Chains A and B, each alone.
Chain A
């Protein structure tokens, strides 16, 4: 089976492919305050949210370009009361519509309207399996509510899709997390380790697990998978810091993924707004066709003309596209460098040192306290010049 994001892209020529995935971050508002959130740390200074009509226009324009998978995300998308309108229009246009939610705000009335409107899938995020840790990590009391929402999802005959973000503080609870997923009747479970962007980068010292933690969690996951068999599809995603080759980020810049943020900014990934020297277009000022095909921002790292060594002459450049531009920028200060996850990168020590540090039993909690994603912290971070730049290792 081929995932939409895995269509092979050919480098060496800059052929513009279709944006198969439209991710609509319809709001940055969120009742949760997750310490690993990938929303921009300075979201508090982003402009006003797109209106309903503006979103419907984006849906139509992207669909005309060939977008077929739609993610309705945030923030917490259910903070808006017009999701029902967007879902119905998305279905009418022929999107496969996915709602990515913490579950907060998903009442029976709303889920009934989503079903009626043609929503195809709901992905429910869980912070952890134990109420105490779940509440600590998301900084609210939401665990019982999520269990209720999980029952609603079943009742309305949606497949039970769970996303659990793993990190140093919850990864040792993996058995309990898996048992919870089974008890809820989850059919598809993604155990995704935190990737270190935005808020997660600020909290990296606290969140990066040790190698031993990862190996143990993966072994438990494999045992569990062998026991439950095909009734649950189970994915375990290792943090890229523990890899020696970078991820094929977004399947290549401007290749299949189109992210529209709450304020209308069009981006080739969730994080790209932090990259310096690039101006990204706003759907308030440009149509999606121009944005995808013509805008300098979307063309900046298409193809391989921008690459430096060791990527430029690397035979693997057609597989991983040099990794992630944002990670290259965050860690090396230059977005055209190889992603330092790659052990061929001259900057790989930047990753290796952080990984070494994570093997020490006590994280360096004294460096700074864990930073919750909330408006107050975001306003404070908005005033700092380059908040996403990693602390010196």
Chain B
């Protein structure tokens, strides 16, 4: 397994120029940024909603596993956070 760039204790938050909101016309959550919009899948939105700048990545996994019991989510969540980080949507502290 390759080494992860987002550690389990990393606290992630949205990058300054990005805003997460429910978009009624698109019927999904979107990330807004200057001159653009990214439509999020349901699972991506569940993760993004929990990036409060306080909870560590491992806490977000726990939180999601409580909300969606019976599913092993760690790998998926960490993979998504890495993608979001690589795309510049979030920062990890």
Contacts and interface: CB of A to CB of B under 8 A. Distances in A.
Interface of A: 1-5, 18, 20-21, 65-66, 68-69, 94, 96, 98, 120-121, 157, 159, 161, 188
Interface of B: 16-17, 19, 21, 23, 25-26, 30, 32-38, 87-88
The 7 closest A-B pairs by CB, nearest first: A66-B25, A96-B32, A3-B36, A121-B34, A4-B37, A4-B36, A159-B17
Max chain A C-beta neighbours (<10 A), residue from B21, B25, B88 = B25
A119 to B, nearest CB: 12
Contact of A159 (B16, B37, B38, B87): B16
Contacts of B26: 18, 66
A98 B32 contact: no
B37 to A, nearest CB: 5
B25 A96 contact: no
A69 B37 contact: yes
Contacts of A5: 35
Given A159-B16, A159-B17, A96 B23 contact: no
Contact of B19 (A21, A96, A98, A159): A96
Given A3-B35, A159-B16, 5 more contacts: A1-B36, A1-B88, A4-B35, A66-B25, A94-B23
B38 A1 contact: yes
Given A68-B23, A120-B19, A188 B32 contact: no
A84 B35 CA distance: 20
Max chain A C-beta neighbours (<10 A), residue from B26, B32, B33, B37 = B37
B30 A68 contact: yes
B48 to A, nearest CB: 15
Nearest to B88: A1
Given A18-B25, A96-B33, A2 B38 contact: yes
Contacts of A161: 34
Nearest to A187: B17
Nearest to A69: B35
B26 to A, nearest CB: 7
22 contacts: A1-B33, A2-B36, A2-B38, A3-B36, A4-B37, A18-B26, A21-B35, A66-B25, A66-B26, A68-B23, A69-B32, A69-B35, A94-B21, A94-B23, A96-B19, A96-B33, A96-B34, A121-B34, A157-B16, A159-B16, A159-B34, A161-B34
B36 to A, nearest CB: 5
Contacts of B16: 157, 159
B29 to A, nearest CB: 12
A98 B30 contact: no
Nearest to A71: B35
Contacts of A68: 23, 25, 30, 32, 37
Contacts of B25: 18, 65-66, 68
A68 B88 CA distance: 21
B37 A2 contact: yes
Nearest to B16: A159
Contacts of B37: 2, 4, 20, 68-69, 96
Contacts of A66: 23, 25-26
B40 to A, nearest CB: 12
Contacts of B35: 3-5, 21, 69, 98
A219 to B, nearest CB: 26
A338 to B, nearest CB: 28
